[in-house]
Structure 1
Amino acid sequence: MTEQKSKVRFIEIDDDIAGQRIDNFLRNQLKNVPKSMIYRVLRKGEVRVNKKRIKPEYKLQAGDLIRVPPIRLPERDEQVAPSTKLDKVAELENCILYEDDHLLVLNKPSGTAVHGGSGLQFGAIEAMRALRPKARFLELVHRIDRDTSGILLIAKKRSALRHLQAQFREKTVRKDYYALVMGEWPAKQRKVTAPLLKNEVNSIVRVNPNGKPSETRFKVIERFAEATLVQASPVTGRTHQIRVHAQYMGHPLAWDDRYGDPRFDAYTKQVGLNRLFLHAAKIRFVHPGREETMDLDAPMEAKLQRALEGLRKKTDK
């Protein structure tokens, strides 16, 4: 292990980046730096915008000048781009749902982070860059949790990134997830609007009246003896939103290591489940090049399908 220290950097924000939160911007710029360290330098005022201290939620404006301080962190000498011969990297080639000159849509497996850092050598974006070495531009349009599977958009042009992220900001993108929740979800409970507050140090999210407005729409898909398969459609895009809203209603997701119920995990383990049952199944957005509506579906992995079949058998008994 060698210890590397970066130098002070000054970055001027252009129109492409304007509107992004400073904490998210720094996480993109400082790929191998833990989130806790990024929030620490923000809290201590070591990051300056136009020579002033700012909060993590500050939204960047065109023309802002950011001072990024030196950051000391251990880094492996041998750390390089992931090899395309690695099984996990090569398998992602088979997970591509759609690709053209503007974007790439991935059916991300559960357990694969969207990007490296915090002890992970690589994530989905680094893997796709390794698989597409001639691509001049590949950037994440949005994020989904490491243990969540399903649709992930990757832009192949800066213009496509701006176009797609604008749709997310304007809440015109429709995303539908499948989630297995504990117990009997009330059919009349079609919307949860509890405000959410995130602890920036450990990323735990709680319902809190001082939190940000949040809305998730729920629809019952299938009922089982002790569980319900629901479609969850987040209107806002808060961290862990579906998971926390489901827990708040008393129906936590199966195998949720932060907000779940061990009793439900034990029950679903009987049908072979051992991962978070949250899958980004459908997305609707406007194509950044052709300006036509795109509807894409991502099939659930066989493990989730088998778990549902097992629950059906237990219900029929």
Structure 2
Amino acid sequence: MSLPEGPPLRHCPPYWHVYETSCKRRWYDRELLEMLVTEFRDRTKEYYHWAIHTGLCQVNHQKTDPRYCLKNGDTMSNRVHRHEPPVTTDPVKILFRDEEKGHLVVRKPGSIPVHAAGRYGKHTLIHMIKHDLNEPVIYTTNRLDRLTSGLMVCSTTKEAAQKIGDQFTRGLVRKAYVCRVKGRFPEEEIDCQEPILAIDRQAGVNLVHHLGKECQTIFKRISYDPDSDTSVVYCRPITGRTHQIRVHAQYLGYPIPNDPLYNHPIWEQYPATCFKQLEIEPDRWKTEAGGMTGNQAVDAVIAAIKLERDSKEDWARWRDEMLFSHLMRKEGVEVVQVPGANGQSVMDDPKYLLAGCPAGVGSGGPELGEEGAAAALEGKAAFDSGMGSFCEECRIPLHPDPKPSELYIYLHALKYETDEWSYEDEMPWWAKEDWREGRAEE
């Protein structure tokens, strides 16, 4: 299915930023370097070791050792040159305002997270409402996934935020979404009450599983398009679990076609329906960050999704590892080894060896053939071509822009209502009757 490219991207100039956070419970008794490599996978082990060595990353505002064991009460700070990913140029729009109730209802475009997290700081809904829409005081009470668009019921007073938050918590808010799914969805209403389990925090994967939390989503088909073999479906999530609509639609056999998680090719090998009664080891999987669940099928799905994400950044990670390994060697510092998949060298991949990695780095692997070797050498040539592949100020490897069509999925929050108030958005362009494959809204 071809997707519309959409509008151009919104970029934010890089800026220096200090992250500061208290030690989380799951970090207790873990070594600093291991925790950074496992929890924050956008940079390599070599970079984090360099950051600790130079004092960019500190514990309790002091330089420390990469093997320092974190404990309750520790405060970690990390000074970074923040390069935010680009987002859509579709604006955040105010749809409704009720000064008396303290309600501010906005439409969030896909690609924009609600709150600052990870690499996102200014490219967030909160920041854009405050600075683009000149609303200095804003509170959010519900969240949408970064790739999901639609209504957000915000508040301009703390009292209103507390009241709306209580209504969401008590299940008093009736919610409606619309999505486009693969295949001819049944005409009759479907009430899916399968439990959902959050199986991996890093990959963001959720499954229908008997150990999961109680969930309920009611689906009703609006239309079917035979040309694209897709259906527009009205969704009423009775509960509010993470990725609930996406997981239930996938479980029923009708995933959202441009969903990078739940329409990943790995699900063809391991259908979503096969996991419900599989045995896993919850104590192990919940306590070991990035660890295995103890089930081959579940671990295979998680590994495939992580590999998909990492492979898009392979050459950037290779450049990161090459640069900071070199800087550490110049300082006479040996890089500390970190156990597990997250601590492995990206240069173990054969394409990096064929591209001319330093002798002794990497463990080899299967031959890639002439085509693979040519691609590897092309990537190496791009690295050797000059400073364009790095930020000149912080030396972070620069990533190419994503395609605009990769920044959203066919899922839109359409309506929120209680017995006291009701707010509804119009249908997104991809859910309208005159929608055609590959044609964006004009």
Tell me, yes or no, whether TM beats 0.5: yes
Answer yes or no: is 1:237 the counterpart of 2:363: no
Q: Normalising by the residue count of structure 1, what TM-score does the alignment of the two structures yield?
A: 0.65
Letter in 1 for 2:76: I
Pair 1:201–1:219, CA change in 2 (3 A)? same
Alignment match, 1:169 = 169
1:217–1:235 Cα contact (<8 Å) kept = yes
How many angstroms does 1:205 deviate by? 0.7
Alignment match, 1:266 = none
Alignment match, 1:206 = 207
For structure 1, the 5+ residue unaligned runs are 10-21, 24-32, 38-43, 48-66, 80-85, 263-272, 287-292, 312-317
- Equivalenced residue count is 239
Aligned pairs for 1:107-256 (under 5 A) are 107-122=107-122, 123-131=124-132, 135=136, 137-198=137-198, 199-225=200-226, 226-256=229-259
Letter in 2 for 1:298: D
Q: 1:294 pairs with 407, 421, 425, which one?
A: 421
Structure number with greater Rg is: 2
| SS class of match (2:436) | helix
How many angstroms does 1:88 deviate by? 4.4
Q: 1:71 pairs with 68, 76, 100, which one?
A: 76
Letter in 2 for 1:128: I
Alignment match, 1:96 = 94
| SS class of match (2:180) | strand
Alignment match, 2:341 = none
Structure 2 CA distance, aligned partners of 1:232 and 1:134?
Answer: 31
Structure 2 CA distance, aligned partners of 1:170 and 1:243?
Answer: 23
Q: Normalising by the residue count of structure 2, what TM-score does the alignment of the two structures yield?
A: 0.48
Letter in 1 for 2:411: L
Q: Deviations over 1:195-225 (max 9, x none)?
A: 1111223221111110111111111111222
Structure 1 CA distance, aligned partners of 2:415 and 2:82?
Answer: 40
2:88–2:109 Cα contact (<8 Å) kept = no
Structure 2 CA distance, aligned partners of 1:77 and 1:112?
Answer: 16
Letter in 1 for 2:417: R
For structure 2, the 5+ residue unaligned runs are 1-14, 27-35, 41-68, 266-404, 438-442
Alignment match, 1:268 = none
Letter in 2 for 1:105: V
> Which protein has greater RCO, CA pairs closer than 8 Å, 6+ apart?
2
How many angstroms does 1:282 deviate by? 1.2
Letter in 1 for 2:131: A
Structure 2 CA distance, aligned partners of 1:34 and 1:300?
Answer: 42
Structure with the higher fraction of residues in strand conformation: 1
Structure 1 CA distance, aligned partners of 2:261 and 2:436?
Answer: 25
1:5–1:70 Cα contact (<8 Å) kept = no
Structure with the higher fraction of residues in helix conformation: 2
| SS class of match (2:248) | helix
| SS class of match (1:127) | helix
How many angstroms does 1:180 deviate by? 0.8
Structure 1 CA distance, aligned partners of 2:231 and 2:250?
Answer: 13
Q: Deviations over 1:43-98 (max 9, x none)?
A: x9855xxxxxxxxxxxxxxxxxxx6x41232333899xxxxxx9949x32xx1111
Pair 1:117–1:298, CA change in 2 (3 A)? same
1:3–1:72 Cα contact (<8 Å) kept = no
How many angstroms does 1:121 deviate by? 2.8
